[in-house]
Amino acid sequence: DAGITQSPRHKVTETGTPVTLRCHQTENHRYMYWYRQDPGHGLRLIHYSYGVKDTDKGEVSDGYSVSRSKTEDFLLTLESATSSQTSVYFCAVRAAYEQYFGPGTRLTVT
Amino acid sequence: DQQVKQNSPSLSVQEGRISILNCDYTNSMFDYFLWYKKYPAEGPTFLISISSIKDKNEDGRFTVFLNKSAKHLSLHIVPSQPGDSAVYFCAASEGYGGSQGNLIFGKGTKLSVKP
């Protein structure tokens, strides 16, 4: 499982509140990614990181920010959650030529 | 526009038979392709991959075929087992060996293997 944990695993929050999701890895991978999965859309890249303090936007980055102050932690923040951000969020790391995913966080914005 | 397409949302196969999942892509610069399997309430798990310099890669019951001229790849599962029932995602990358290695995913195909 590439030593990836995500927290929380489930969260319900109200529109307009800030939310932070955490991804933690134990194997010192340089590259880390945040995806969201929605019915009919597959997996879409939100943001990624190629090192401590080095991040960049993905396909669906609007409304999201990220931070990586340590190799092992990659945080995804929804500054003001909206109902359209209800989704399942997956973190991934890159090892060799493949990416390995965490178990996911199911976020519901009411 | 979708760069990676999985045109079959679902596929049903009898146990013991072959499952063939298909994937088409539009970007001729893609040079690395991967298949992932996903069970409900779990993260996707890496299954098998293929580089554009090859046209076939095998791993046990799983074989991926790449047809670059047709921009098409397929995943064959032989023999299919009920535990193979899952959603399968195709993914592709450009310049994977070098840069950040971002993957573009298809929308997935749900495979059901019936006993």
Q: How much is the pLDDT for B95?
A: 72
Whether B99 has a pLDDT exceeding 60, the answer reads no
Interchain pair A98, B34: CB under 8 A: yes
- Cis peptide bond upstream of B9, omega within 30: no
Q: How much is the pLDDT for B100?
A: 60
Q: How much is the pLDDT for B110?
A: 97
Interchain pair B46, A90: CB under 8 A: no
Residue in chain A nearest B2 by alpha carbon? A41
Share of residues in chain A with pLDDT > 70 (%): 98
- CA distances A79 to A55, B8, B102, Å, are 17, 36, 25
Whether A6 has a pLDDT exceeding 90, the answer reads yes
Q: How much is the pLDDT for B74?
A: 98
- CA distances A12 to A24, A104, A109, B43, B95, Å, are 21, 14, 6, 20, 38
Whether A2 has a pLDDT exceeding 70, the answer reads no
Q: Check residue B61 and report its DSSP letter.
A: T
- Rounded to the nearest 5 percent, the helix, strand and coil shares of chain B are 5, 55, 45
Interchain contact B1–A (C-beta under 8 A): no
Average pLDDT rounded to a whole number, residues B77-83: 98
Residue in chain A nearest B87 by alpha carbon? A42
| Structure confidence at residue B58 as a pLDDT band (50, 70, 90) | very high
SS3 B76: strand
Residue in chain A nearest B44 by alpha carbon? A101
Q: How much is the pLDDT for B105?
A: 95
Interchain pair A97, B102: CB under 8 A: no
Residue in chain A nearest B91 by alpha carbon? A43
Which comes out higher in pLDDT, residue A98 or A17? Answer: A17
Interchain contact A75–B (C-beta under 8 A): no
Whether B9 has a pLDDT exceeding 80, the answer reads yes
Whether B102 has a pLDDT exceeding 90, the answer reads no
From the list A42, A58, A98, which residue is nearest B107 (CB)? A42
Interchain contact A31–B (C-beta under 8 A): yes
Average pLDDT rounded to a whole number, residues B95-114: 83
Interchain pair B100, A44: CB under 8 A: no
Interchain pair B103, A102: CB under 8 A: no
| Structure confidence at residue B98 as a pLDDT band (50, 70, 90) | low
